[in-house]
Structure 1
């Protein structure tokens, strides 16, 4: 499918034995398929799939040309497939011949384009210029919050929308003796962000505070991984410098963090202030020292300005969340085209969420540039699923109730559509969490399917912009990398315009092709990367940050 809607339903791949409803189809609807006519045995909701022949128990079901499930019971011709009549199944995979030939897209419209970014001494370029304040352990979260309260408003950085006026209105209604019914039906007066001082440091986009619940009490593997993740943020091109608060006795030691920073940037030269509470003494001394050093660091960071950079300096994270049955035929393939465009231009993209690559392992491993890379990918996939199964779960349990309600009834159906975000280029590298991207091209990063954990990891790996598709709606953002939200359908775009940036539903409606949409998205990315546009997640202050605990998280 290249975005042209010709009927009310579609076959995505010639090998598929189910069709996808593009709108609600009633029972008895006449269907034309492969020179045969039949009537729907059941009603089929938009985004859901229905059979094109009778299916016996254990008969294989194909979508996107891959195995995505098996019939759990007899399914008649023209019946909707559901969690009650279909069970998860995915094809096996093994090391085989390389299939790295691909057709590069036409990039003539972009080859001479630049974006305005912040150039770092390690050669990377940021799409933003943030200072971050980071706790090495959850014990320091309160002190982090105190610093946030002290700095953000006074320095003139954007505050999230306040609802204080709405609360004032509720208090007035209460004092007036209003009933519960009257309060619930009241039209509350909307308010905007609270008053903010004039921005002091014009070349700094903000100060971000990365609270978390890790650093001690868990496994050493998790605390070491946390240090690697935080090092990824400190060395990130969108970060000018960092203040780190340590208690002193936790698993996540400052020495481990410093070693992880050196691993990622041997010549690291950004301002970095590490303050240990148990050495300094009182909270007052700790916070006053943190304020002074952070302020001096901001003075230094403010000297940096945006300068032109080639698009090859972009590193885009490919993410999805709140997916639906249209994800794999609209927004995700559009991101796949963006991915191919950027790879052709010499840039980097990262495809993560390994539970959502279940069923397409063979295709992706075949696309790896060499056998070592392919073996690494297959090994990570097998170990991850084995760990999940040992804990009483597995990749089969990945689809959420919302996914299932909107047509993604098995993990393999969800995965086959999710993988479309990676386009068709060869896989140049496979990374384990929380490694950093060092090679241009398509990178695979082992993360959970959980939206925020995966986005957090992609940014730590070096993504300086994240493209995030959603069919159901999610406000997910990130503290330091702009997250651009793309809807898979027009209804969502119109319903939640405060969190969606781009509507890919025009593909379903036949108004735009996948390639046209991909180019439009890349135009938007260039504007965001240059600081001329702010995605909705940035405007809302949606600073989601959740490190992955390497136990099971799907």
Structure 2
């Protein structure tokens, strides 16, 4: 028997769980062509310009007539603009919270500001790309020296370097984005101490940044500039001394039992495929619903990858203002891509298409499933501090490292990343749990994947998988190492969003 899925009664396609060959029968229709696994087959005839429907939603339009049994993909599907009913708040419902006595816990690092970390790092930040190498040298020297062995509560010293900081308008949007991002990482609850390293002559001046946030140097916040200290070698030596002085203070933090409500979970997907919206993403969405019921927070992002599904989020907005703010960000992206001679359907990527995704609408409908079914409680600009609980949305690009950087700057102390093609990603200071959408990639890349969601296609319920994901989140939040942490990922994934001209 051919294995396939018809996701709703309104769909006029089915998804091949395994490859359909000519002559195979799916939903009573004989396949007329080979349909690769994860791809779509028409189960009703479509005339030219008819809507192709998956998840009960429009994902594109027939380029020409499509016969029942045909393979449905980019060769015979195109996209054009059409109206979607935003109906702000029409489906918002009161959240059913778990009774306090039954709420789950994890072992976290309580901070003086009331936040709770899942890791305890010292971060070496940089004001400019020109000080990036020095920051790396400092972190490498501390690690190589063996100093950390005496401080078991410190997870490590991490260089968080970037490629900008100069050649930008200090009164412009690019500066503001970098300023917010740097502050967000410096105050992320997974960071116990910060060393900020600059060159000295850059546009992003450390004293100006400190003044903006009322920062002063203390036992867990220090700064250095290469030009003032007298070169790279002296800066590295001074940086190592500063961290050596910081280590005993940062090591004083210890894990304490903490309500799951203190978790702020970043949601990411990368290398998505035709299974992502059926297995990993909706399973993660159930974990999100469970976390929100505990009083926790989840951050959905990647604005270009909810395009075409934004109306579903707006219907769950707790207020019209929240829905309208999300609509405004969608309009900004439409204008942004048009100004750069692009279009929103430039996404999906070649890998997404090879995995069965045909249009951005199809990809977005699957990606938005990560947000579960709970109310949308807030919409944030990139790297803004998230200050409400529940499911929120942060405006970010779809490019995973940039998007995740914004979420962590917003305060995320955990991250879940779904993938169908096998994305290689890790994050510091926030641990990243990898969820495979299919068993093929889980088995092929088991050293990179934390959870296999492919068994949903074999009968494991989404509810069971959602519980498994939340259990893993709590275990990792308590100190269990993810696969990406074991491999050493995270030092190169700090990528602030660079908007505007490089001067």
Smaller-chain TM-score range? over 0.9
Q: Which runs of 5+ in 1 are unaligned?
A: 1-5, 158-198
The aligned counterpart of 1:74 is 65
- The alpha carbon displacement at 1:280 in A equals 3.1
CA contact 2:210–2:216 (8 Å) conserved in 1: no
Distance 1:267 1:23, change over 3 A: farther
- The alpha carbon displacement at 1:267 in A equals 11
Distance 1:223 1:150, change over 3 A: same
1:152 alignment partner, SS class: helix
The aligned counterpart of 1:397 is 346
Hey, what's the Cα distance between the residues in 2 that align with 1:514 and 1:110?
A: 26
Matches for 1:363-512 after TM superposition, within 5 Å: 363-510=312-459, 512=460
**Aligned residues, how many?**
497
The aligned counterpart of 1:520 is 468
Aligned match for 2:136, one of 120, 138, 145: 145
Aligned match for 1:92, one of 83, 87, 90: 83
- The alpha carbon displacement at 1:82 in A equals 1.5
Deviations 1:295-330 (A, max 9, x none): 111121011111111000001111101111000000
- The alpha carbon displacement at 1:379 in A equals 0.3
RMSD of aligned Cα (Å)? 2.2
The aligned counterpart of 1:170 is none
CA contact 2:92–2:315 (8 Å) conserved in 1: no
1:521 alignment partner, SS class: helix
Aligned match for 2:197, one of 237, 240, 245: 245
CA contact 2:268–2:416 (8 Å) conserved in 1: yes
- The alpha carbon displacement at 1:371 in A equals 1.2
The aligned counterpart of 2:173 is 221
CA contact 2:92–2:317 (8 Å) conserved in 1: no
- Counterpart check, 1:25 vs 2:16: no
Aligned match for 1:316, one of 247, 254, 265: 265
The aligned counterpart of 1:200 is 150
Hey, what's the Cα distance between the residues in 1 that align with 2:414 and 2:483?
A: 13
Q: Which has the larger radius of gyration?
A: 1
- The alpha carbon displacement at 1:79 in A equals 0.5
CA contact 2:89–2:315 (8 Å) conserved in 1: yes
Hey, what's the Cα distance between the residues in 1 that align with 2:258 and 2:193?
A: 21
- Counterpart check, 1:548 vs 2:497: yes
- Counterpart check, 1:211 vs 2:161: yes
CA contact 1:231–1:260 (8 Å) conserved in 2: no
2:22 alignment partner, SS class: coil
Hey, what's the Cα distance between the residues in 2 that align with 1:347 and 1:268?
A: 32
TM-score (ref. length: structure 2): 0.94
Distance 1:256 1:27, change over 3 A: farther
Distance 1:366 1:348, change over 3 A: same
- The alpha carbon displacement at 1:211 in A equals 1.6
CA contact 2:104–2:294 (8 Å) conserved in 1: no
The aligned counterpart of 1:3 is none
1:237 alignment partner, SS class: coil
The aligned counterpart of 2:29 is 38
Distance 1:334 1:211, change over 3 A: same
Distance 1:90 1:527, change over 3 A: farther
- The alpha carbon displacement at 1:207 in A equals 0.5
Hey, what's the Cα distance between the residues in 2 that align with 1:137 and 1:154?
A: 26
